[in-house]
Amino acid sequence: MRFSFTPMKEAPLKLLYNETQCVDLLAARIRSHLKGVSDSRPIVLVCVGTDRSTGDSLGPLVGRSLDRNPSFLPPVYGTIDRPVHAMNLSETLHEVHRDHPNPFIIGVDACLGQLTSVGCIQVGQGPVKPGAGVNKELPPVGDIHVTGIVNVGGFMEYFVLQNTRLSLVMSMAEVISDSFLQSVARIEPLREREALFPSQKV
């Protein structure tokens, strides 16, 4: 008799944004996901959110920071100036696949959670599901995801997102951006620079 075993999905890494060595640990986990990506797959970031809501601005803040940093080579979709949100998400994903065949997408988004998890950043396999916290049906984003729990969910989510502290969101965005920059710096020697990171930026 033969037995087949399905590899277990790696548990997400979840850390408080101001925890000691948070950036190093997040970067190491992102790097571990990137190591297994085929040379033929361009890496693309899709940072979901809107500048019209404090809590939902996490993704665009991360996108803005990385898009303006010349040392960060992957294309970035979703910034404060050009956000990727509910109204243009499907169109943006179509554009990503059109311009970057068979991409490895990293989805970045804010989310709501339990009170004890507010301020936590999570890196995990599989897509982020934008709009889930506010009961919207939107396409999933990403082969892996990086999410930040910006406030408490479960009641009046729109109001909660609108009244999230900007200080917390900006601090979390800075940690996430630094984690991406560190992970990219470490992974580059393992693959051809241009093959891994397309030079085109959005």
pLDDT digit string (tens) for 189-199? 455 555 555 55
Mean pLDDT in residue range 127-149: 85
pLDDT at 63: 97
Better-scored residue on pLDDT, 199 or 96: 96
> Quick one: the chain helix, strand, coil %, rounded to 5?
40, 20, 40
Task: For residue 60, tell me if it sits in a domain.
Answer: yes
Grade residue 200 by pLDDT with cuts at 50, 70 and 90: low
138 or 167: which carries more pLDDT confidence?
167
Q: Please report the pLDDT score of residue 173 as a whole number.
A: 98
pLDDT at residue 43 tops 60: yes
- Specify the range with the lowest mean pLDDT, choosing from 123-127, 147-151, 181-185: 181-185
Is residue 1 domain-resident?
Answer: no
Model pTM? 0.86
Position 137 in a domain = yes
Domain count, the chain: 1
Tell whether 136 is covered by a domain: yes
CATH number at residue 93: 3.40.50.1450
Residue 5 has pLDDT above 90, yes or no: no
At residue 163, the pLDDT reads 85
User: Is residue 201 included in any domain, yes or no?
Assistant: no
Range of the domain at 136: 13-189
Alpha carbons 136 and 114: distance in angstroms, whole number: 19
- For residue 25, what pLDDT is reported? 97
For residue 130, the model assigns a pLDDT of: 84
Q: Whole-angstrom Cα distance, residue 185 to residue 180?
A: 9
Higher pLDDT, 76 or 130: 76
Sheet arrangement for strand 120-125: 13-16, 120-125, 144-152, 104-113, 43-47, 76-77
Residue 194 belongs to a domain: no
Q: How far apart are CA 52 and CA 30, in angstroms?
A: 28
pLDDT of residue 61: 98
Under the banding of pLDDT at 50, 70 and 90, the label for residue 59 is: very high
For residue 123, being part of any structural domain is answered with: yes
Average pLDDT, the chain: 87
- Across 100-109, average pLDDT: 96
Tell me, yes or no, whether 8 lies in a domain: no
73 pLDDT band, cuts 50/70/90, is confident
Q: pLDDT tens-digit profile of 170-190?
A: 999 999 999 999 997 655 545
